[in-house]
């Protein structure tokens, strides 16, 4: 399509058709050129000509602000949004005034490698930058995404494991009943849920000796019976808030950052830094397996897919099978 076929101030970019006029914010047309809907959209844009307009400076600060108003950002899960915010704030700090249209692949690689000593941070930053630059393309500020295809740093990922029994005992000894640190542990181990879902639990979710859970990640609804260890922690807890786990003022739910910091302090004190909050979900799945539960029964508590049940329990599963195999082997050799 030649430019002369398009109306005034309308330009075709690689990813769509845009209204672009000096002093006006760039706008992508949602309808196909030539349709009645397109012309109504075009007329609607022009009808705003008498309104005062603010020229948007095309820098990373403006890009981040626009991205945070977009459905792409608003549809993020709350926990993911918090993670994204850390990196978006980091980008604003180091290159807020820079023009994102001038960013090249080599710049993305340089930014990644500058944080190579913090591989997890570097790789997560790359993922967020990839999304941010895709939004930049959608705005018509550039034609391609320079972060697309840039590989993440290779790392030696340590596989997460359940807490050993002796460290769980040490944690319980260090955190008496009635403390938030003890309650959050018993909720995680006792229900097998993600920390985000545990922090969202309310007293009203407890019904008929069980706790109702609606998983934020999967939207699954689960009814999980309460074990004696968890019941003791619940009986000792204060009930001055709608949430089971509250902040220090008792006015709202305990934040992930607050819970993580409190638990880390205990982990440091008892020598359990190799095991984190999420490892308690492994404990729940592995304890269910060791009790003789099938994968389907385990999933009825944890809400995991069959593949994730296998993933969380694979080491314990291997040990159980190895014991059985060696026992069979010994019996054969004695016969």
Quick: pLDDT tens for 3-20.
567 888 888 877 788 887
Render the burial of 7-22: b for 16+ CB within 10 Å, e for the rest.
eeebeeeebebbbebe
Quick one: which H or E segment has residue 210?
Answer: strand 210-214
Q: What is the DSSP string of 79-144?
A: HHHHHHHHHHHHHHHHHTTS-GGG--HHHHHHHHHHTTTSHHHHHHHHHHHHHHHHHHHHTTS-SS
Would you state the pLDDT for residue 160? 86
Bridge partner residues of 222 (DSSP): 213
pLDDT at position 289 is 96
At residue 324, the pLDDT reads 92
292 pLDDT more than 80? yes
Please tell me which residue, 276 or 5, carries the higher pLDDT value. Answer: 276
pLDDT for res 48: 73
Asked whether 161 and 275 are in contact (CB, 8 A), the reply is yes
For residues 42 and 129, the model is more confident at 129
Residue 290 near residue 316 (C-beta atoms within 8 A): yes
> Which among 208, 204, 224 has a CA at the least distance from the CA of 304?
224
- CB atoms under 10 Å from CB of 34, counted, come to 11
Looking at the DSSP bridge assignments, the partners of residue 224 are 211
Residues facing residue 16 across a β-bridge: 13
Diameter of the chain by CA atoms?
A: 97
Looking at residue 131, its pLDDT comes to: 96
Top pLDDT among 19 and 151 is at 151
pLDDT at 155 over 90: no
Of 292, 281, 301, which is closest to residue 211 (Cα–Cα)?
301
Give the chain's domains with CATH numbers: 3-46 (no CATH), 60-138 (1.10.150), 165-278 (1.10.443.10)
pLDDT tens figures, 206-250: 999 999 999 988 889 999 999 999 999 999 998 889 999 998 887
Q: How far is CA 108 from the centre of its chain?
A: 23
Q: What is the pLDDT of residue 88?
A: 95
| pLDDT greater at residue 31 or residue 171 | 171
**Two tokens at 182?**
């003890």
**What is the per-residue pLDDT across 307-333, written as a single tens digit (0 to 9) for each?**
999 999 999 999 999 999 999 999 888
Mean pLDDT of 47-75: 79
Whether residue 50 has pLDDT greater than 60: no
Q: Residue 134: pLDDT band by 50, 70, 90 thresholds? A: very high
pLDDT tens digits, 64-119: 999 998 888 988 887 788 889 999 999 999 999 999 999 999 999 999 999 988 89
Spell out the SS3 assignment of 154-171. Answer: CCCCCCCCCCCHHHHHHH
Residues 6+ apart with CB under 8 A from 118: none
Residue from 79, 25, 120, 14 nearest 255 by CA: 79
User: Once rounded to an integer, what is the mean pLDDT over residues 150-178?
Assistant: 91
What pLDDT sits at residue 54? 53
Q: How far apart are CA 183 and CA 234, in angstroms?
A: 7
**Is residue 51 predicted with pLDDT exceeding 60?**
no
In this prediction, residue 23 carries a pLDDT of 67
- Among the listed residues 186, 199, 119, 183, the one whose alpha carbon sits nearest the alpha carbon of residue 155: 119
- What's the mean per-residue pLDDT of the chain? 90
Q: Which stretch of 34-38, 147-151, 184-188 has the lowest confidence by average pLDDT?
A: 34-38
Q: What is the pLDDT of residue 315?
A: 92
| Alpha-carbon distances, residue 312 vs 84, 285, 318, 319 (angstroms) | 26, 7, 12, 13
pLDDT digits (tens, 9 = 90+) for 262-275: 999 999 999 999 99
């Amino acid at each position: 399509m030649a430019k002369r076929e398009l109306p005034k101030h309308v330009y075709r970019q690689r990813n769509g058709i845009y209204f672009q006029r000096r002093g006006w914010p760039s706008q992508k047309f949602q309808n196909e050129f030539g349709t009645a809907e397109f012309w109504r959209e075009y007329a609607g844009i022009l009808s705003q000509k008498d309104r005062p307009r603010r020229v948007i400076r095309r820098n990373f600060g403006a890009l981040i602000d626009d991205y945070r108003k977009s459905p792409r950002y608003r549809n993020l899960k709350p926990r993911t949004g918090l993670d994204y915010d850390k990196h978006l704030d980091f980008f604003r700090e180091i290159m807020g005034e820079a023009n994102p249209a001038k960013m090249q692949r080599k710049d993305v690689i340089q930014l990644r490698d500058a944080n190579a000593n913090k591989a997890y941070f570097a790789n997560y930053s790359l993922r967020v930058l990839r999304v941010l630059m895709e939004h930049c393309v959608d705005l018509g500020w550039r034609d391609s995404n320079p972060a697309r295809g840039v590989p993440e740093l290779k790392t030696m990922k340590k596989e997460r494991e359940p807490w050993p029994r002796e460290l769980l005992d040490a944690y319980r000894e260090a955190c008496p009943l009635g403390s938030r640190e003890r309650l959050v542990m018993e909720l995680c181990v006792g229900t097998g849920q993600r920390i985000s879902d545990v922090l969202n639990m309310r007293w009203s979710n407890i019904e008929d000796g069980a706790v109702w859970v609606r998983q934020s990640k999967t939207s699954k609804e689960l009814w999980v019976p309460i074990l004696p260890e968890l019941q003791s922690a619940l009986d000792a807890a204060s009930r001055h808030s709608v949430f089971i786990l509250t902040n220090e003022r008792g006015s709202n739910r305990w934040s992930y950052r607050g819970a993580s910091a409190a638990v880390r302090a205990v982990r440091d004190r008892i020598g359990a830094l190799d095991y984190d909050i999420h490892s308690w979900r492994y404990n729940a799945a592995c304890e269910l397996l060791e009790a003789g539960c099938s994968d389907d029964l385990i999933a009825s508590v944890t809400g995991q897919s069959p593949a994730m049940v296998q993933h969380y329990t694979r080491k314990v599963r291997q040990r159980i099978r190895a014991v059985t195999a060696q026992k069979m082997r010994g019996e054969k050799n004695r016969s």
